Structures are given as C-alpha cells and as structure tokens.
Amino acid sequence: MANAKVLSPEGRFRWMKVFTAEPDMNGKMVKSGTLLIPKTSSLKPLQDAWDTAAKEEFQGKIPGSLRKLVGGQKPILKDGDEHYSTRDEDKQEMYEAYQGCWVLACSCDENAPLRILGPDSTDVYDPAEIYDGAYGQFVINFSCYQSKPRPAGPGKPGYPGGPMCSVSLLGVRKTRDGEPIETGGSGVRMTDEDMERFFGAGAGSTRDGLDDL
C-alpha cells in the first residue's frame, strides 16, 4: 500500500462529526466531515498527492480503472453543481451550499489520532468552534492498493478485486469563522445509504497525526 499526505485547500465545513465517533452505514464507528472547496481553488496539491500514491503503488502507471480525484466512477471529489445520483429515478438536487464547490467527504477510525486546530494553530476542544459554515482545511491521506477478490456470499455479490484508492481524514484546521449553514437548508438530506452511493465506501483507519502542522 502506498500513502501520500496532503493539506487541502480552504473550504467550508459541513456535517462535521470529528469530536465524537458515530456509526456509518456499516455500523463501524468513525469520525467524519465534509469540506466544500470552491471551484476557484487549485486542486494541484491534491492531484499531485493522489498521483504520487497511485504511481508508487502501481509501478509508475495509474490504472485506468482506479478511482479519479474528479470525474469518473465514484470520484473522491464530487461536483456540488450536479445531482448526487447518476440514476434518473434517484436524482435529487444537491444542497444550495454545495453550489460552485467540490465536495470532499472523508472519515477516520474512531481511535485514530485526529487532531483539530484553530486559526492560531492551537488545539480545539470545543465542538461549537467547528460548526457547519466555518472555514478550514483538512489534512488527508490518499491510500492506493490492490484489493483482494471477495467470493460471493448469502445476499452479497462477489468482488473480483482490483486497484483501489481511498481517502482518510488525518486532521482538521479551522482558519476563520463564516456564516453558519443551517442543517435543514435547501435540497434533500442524504441518508447513510445515499452517502455510501454518492461517496463510495468509507475511509479506513490511519496512524498518522498532525505533528507537522
């Protein structure tokens, strides 16, 4: 497995659950968050880190079947101006706050050393400081690997295995306050099933922290 750590561009926080772990749709306890990155921001640091991890794992070549950073099958960054389902019968408008943004959703294991910093780079312990609508950055880790085949089981399809790339949340840095995003807002609230279909499988655990910040 090859890994590459990177600091994201600044964006707005959304659905931040980084102080207390909650179960994902598979019942695994995770800490998670979403970052709304303006499309005017450069994605080069993210793309470079993604390419580095992929090329290191796959002998300098990026498999065509691998997840993409943007676009393609289940991209890591979703388009906030598009519907979150590609099936016509499931299409629903994205939230108004997502418009003009790339949507980065990631998580980490409940026991991961997730560090949360404030604008002055000191640790934040008050959940009220990391609210939906505040501005900040994520430290994330791209992991590329060759997944193993999985035989079919009762009620579960088999999986042939292949190149994979996942993203894990390593840390959160609040950069400044912003206009709060109301939970209700416009658009339809995503269920856990919607989130899984839209963003793909949740990220795995990580051992890295924010020691270099």
Instruction: Extract the runs of DSSP E, i.e. beta strands, from 24-92.
Output: 29-38, 77-79
Residue 206 forms part of a structural domain? no
Q: Report whether 102 contacts 19 (CB < 8 A).
A: no
What's the pLDDT at 141?
96
What's the pLDDT at 83?
61
Q: How far apart are CA 112 and CA 30, in angstroms?
A: 9
Q: How far apart are CA 174 and CA 121, in angstroms?
A: 9
Residue 211 forms part of a structural domain? no
Residue 212 forms part of a structural domain? no
Q: How far apart are CA 164 and CA 2, in angstroms?
A: 11
Residue 207 forms part of a structural domain? no
Q: What is the domain-level CATH number for residue 144?
A: 2.40.50.140
List the domain range (segments joined by +) for residue 127.
2-196
What's the pLDDT at 109?
94
Residue 151 forms part of a structural domain? yes
What's the pLDDT at 128?
94
Residue 210 forms part of a structural domain? no
Residue 205, φ and ψ in degrees, nearest 5: -80, 165
Residue 192, H or E segment = helix 192-199
What's the domain count of the chain? 1
Residue 72 forms part of a structural domain? yes
The model carries a pTM of: 0.79
What's the pLDDT at 65?
83
Considering only CA atoms, which of 98, 103, 101, 94 is closest in space to residue 41? 101
Residue 208 forms part of a structural domain? no
CA angle 51-57-60, nearest 5°?
Answer: 60
The DSSP 8-state label assigned to residue 185 in this structure reads -
Q: How far apart are CA 124 and CA 121, in angstroms?
A: 9
Mean pLDDT by 10 residues, the chain (213 residues): 95 95 89 96 95 92 87 86 59 75 94 94 94 96 88 75 89 96 52 49 36 45
